[in-house]
Chain A
Amino acid sequence: MKLKGAQIIVETLIEQGASTVFGYPGGQVIDIYDALYLAQDRIHHIITAHEQGASHAADGYARSTGEVGVVIATSGPGATNLVTGIATAYLDSIPLVAITGNVPNSLIGRDSFQEVDITGVTMPITKHNFFVKKIEDLADTIREAFRIAKSGRPGPVLVDVPKDVQNGLYEYETQAKIQKDDVPAPEEADIAKAAELIAAAERPYIYIGGGAVTDNAGEQVLALAEKIDAPIGCTMMGISAVPASNPRWLGMEGMHGHYASSIAQNEADLIVTAGCRFSDRGTGNTSKYARNAKIIHMDIDPSEMCKNIPAEVCITGSMRAVLEKLTAAVEQKQHPAWMARVQELKEYTAKLEQQKEGELTPFTAIDAIAAHTNKDTIVATDVGQHQMWVAQRYPFETPRTFISSGGLGTMGFGLGAAIGAATATGRKTVLVTGDGSFGMNLNEMATAVSNNTPVVIFIMNNGVLGMVRQWQTLFYNKHYSNTTLERKTDFVKLAEAFGMPGYRAMHLAELHEILPKAFAVDGPVLIDCAIDCDAFVLPMLPPGGSIDDIIVDPTAM
């Protein structure tokens, strides 16, 4: 049947399983919005307050479900407003399809009104992008975008469609939802080499990243850990792959990792890595990273092998397949001395992280939130100290329940992402944010109110840009340059002005009183919670430093 290009876009999105899409109308996408209007019983569109919010919402949708998130924006400023969201998804390997309108082919290249070369702009931050010149290519290009976005190491793909292509008529036939490409099986020789290293190891440490979440490989990680008798540490992106309650779990390592996780990694004689890329936040100074260990690097992306850290064995493949093969290839091992050492480190870490009873601290606030959530509750964050506190403290039990911008570290990510996750899953979603990050995209409160999205916004309000302040305290002679915000924003009143209830907590007792009320709200709600501006994220490996420089008690510096 012959359809308009804009309808072909919408039909292809539906065909590819996009039940909810996010976006913002504009001159060069009016036709797409007309097609969305005609198909509104089959595809749900959420208009955000700003295209950036829409891009983060599509990202949150993808992170919480594993499905491809879709965002639509008009040409020019609409498209450029997506850039931060696309880059966020790119750095964290999140499957996203961004559809942008552009001026008609006849006006391309003439600096027309709201014309921007968005494929040029997004080239370095997409897995691939397309400019659809001819309507004949439209449906297949969008299908190809979905295939690329979700295959192998996922990532964002942008499809730019000029207005005349949206307006044209062309034959369209529904096709089946496109499947991910098959991942080649891991090389047996690599598995055998890895098994040899494991057999010889006395202090193995399993180190997992976002790839373990993407491939839903938690069970396989645990099976290997049981077989080789190893603890499991992770990057920030690896959080939630394995339940935090598992006794082998050490949690995040790296710049703000748990003491036990970072120290154990340094003491290990073998690091078995699944789905991580040895980011500088994880490794610190690479020349001093894991000096005592041999490394087995397992990832789906061959270009990550030996990119940042040289490894003894590199195994390419899907994390589940690689882990299963490796587990089958190794003998059951026991390392009682090593596991006793790990236990000792865990106990010491618990002591370090102990909180004074009755005091409102970042950790007691997170504990209080956790008392009102269940293991399926999604917790999103923005970026900064609050993000690290959540990463360290919140007991994540279920894959894809932790939603946070890792690689790009995008302040302002959280609210859009939380709305996307809550919309995709229909579950109550908590956003833990800071007053700095929240200030960047708080306009999305409007979106949450319009859609009655069940998002509990929890602001850790310390009146400062806490993470930068922490660096200024530790490394810049307390020169608090532009990090003391001196705002007079009343977030409770602001929430009410947007149309959602707001609460304020100054003490822990007050917080305990408020939380049941806030969690009982049907729809969005905001809690403004006072946090000490000099609370630190600890431990800390100083930038460019190594495990030898770990800061546990800054007063001792």
Chain B
Amino acid sequence: MDHIKNFVISVLVSNHSGVLSRVTGMFTRRGFNIDTLTVGETESPEFSRITITMHGDEAVCDQIVKQLEKMYDVKTVQVMKGSKTVVRELLLIKVKNTSETRQDVMSVIDAFRAKISDYSPEALIIEIRGASSKIDAFIELVKPYGILEMCRTGLVALERGGSCLKDA
């Protein structure tokens, strides 16, 4: 068994209805697990960009890329190289707001350069973006103060430098 690794795969697809379910359906059908998936319009309204993170060995990743490349709506597929990629994730997290814990929560927010997006007597909504590891660490730190609910966007990723997915 090969080494299990995390992969970030960027996929440029035609921007019409049903494309997302085609892509996710292929993952389900072939038994590939998706860790996160984000999708949105690109600079060209013709195309959407899907960013998928998954874990597995190289062979699984290769097979996923080949299956994606076969799909009618898929224009280009690229496995993003960690060192050459800017990756970001956004977290919205609702934490209990009590007079006893408020100061501690605030100092975590400061340390992580997160920001408060909603302030109410019962709860704070905190917004933080960064690499997934930073977000994981943040969640761990605020956990003791009482997480009411949270929502992660999943990863988005762009290659550093001038080259673009559409030319890949």
Residues of A within 8 A of B (CB): 119-120, 123-124, 127-128, 131, 148, 301-303, 305-307
Contacts and interface: CB of A to CB of B under 8 A. Distances in A.
B29 A124 contact: yes
A303 B22 contact: no
Contacts of A302: 66, 69-70
Contacts of A120: 21
The list of the 6 closest CB pairs from A to B, nearest first, reads A303-B66, A128-B72, A124-B29, A303-B70, A303-B67, A302-B66
Interface string B108-127: 00000000000000000000
Nearest to A303: B66
Contacts of B29: 124
Contact of A124 (B25, B63, B66, B72): B25
A302 B67 CA distance: 9
B78 to A, nearest CB: 16
Given A303-B66, A306-B59, A123 B25 contact: yes
Contacts of B25: 123-124
A224 to B, nearest CB: 26
Majority DSSP secondary structure for residues of B touching A: helix
28 contacts: A119-B18, A120-B21, A123-B21, A123-B22, A123-B25, A124-B25, A124-B29, A127-B72, A128-B71, A128-B72, A128-B73, A131-B18, A148-B72, A301-B70, A302-B66, A302-B69, A302-B70, A303-B63, A303-B66, A303-B67, A303-B69, A303-B70, A305-B66, A306-B59, A306-B62, A306-B63, A307-B63, A307-B66
Contacts of B62: 306
A124 B29 CA distance: 8
Contacts of B73: 128
A307 B59 CA distance: 8
Contacts of A131: 18
Chain B: interface residue count, which band?
10 to 19
Contacts of B22: 123
Contacts of A128: 71-73
Nearest to A306: B59
A119 B18 CA distance: 9
A507 B33 CA distance: 57
Nearest to B73: A128
Contacts of A119: 18
Nearest to A304: B66
A178 to B, nearest CB: 15
A306 B66 CA distance: 11
A124 B25 CA distance: 7
A123 B69 CA distance: 16
Interface string B20-43: 011001000100000000000000
Nearest to B59: A306
A127 B71 CA distance: 8
Interface string B47-91: 000000000000100110011011111000000000000000000
Given A119-B18, A120-B21, A128-B73, 20 more contacts: A123-B22, A123-B25, A124-B25, A124-B29, A127-B72, A128-B71, A128-B72, A131-B18, A148-B72, A301-B70, A302-B66, A302-B69, A302-B70, A303-B66, A303-B67, A303-B69, A303-B70, A306-B59, A306-B62, A306-B63
A120 B25 CA distance: 10
A120 B24 CA distance: 13
Contacts of A127: 72
A156 to B, nearest CB: 13
B13 to A, nearest CB: 13
B48 to A, nearest CB: 17
Nearest to A153: B70
Nearest to B65: A303
Nearest to A305: B66
Contacts of B70: 301-303
B156 to A, nearest CB: 26
B7 to A, nearest CB: 17
A229 B100 CA distance: 85
A112 to B, nearest CB: 19
A148 B69 CA distance: 14
Contacts of A123: 21-22, 25
A87 to B, nearest CB: 12
A120 B20 CA distance: 12
A422 to B, nearest CB: 33
A302 B18 CA distance: 25
A131 B16 CA distance: 11
A315 B157 CA distance: 32
Contacts of A305: 66
A305 B66 CA distance: 9
B70 to A, nearest CB: 5
A538 B71 CA distance: 40
Nearest to A133: B17
Contacts of B18: 119, 131
Contacts of A301: 70
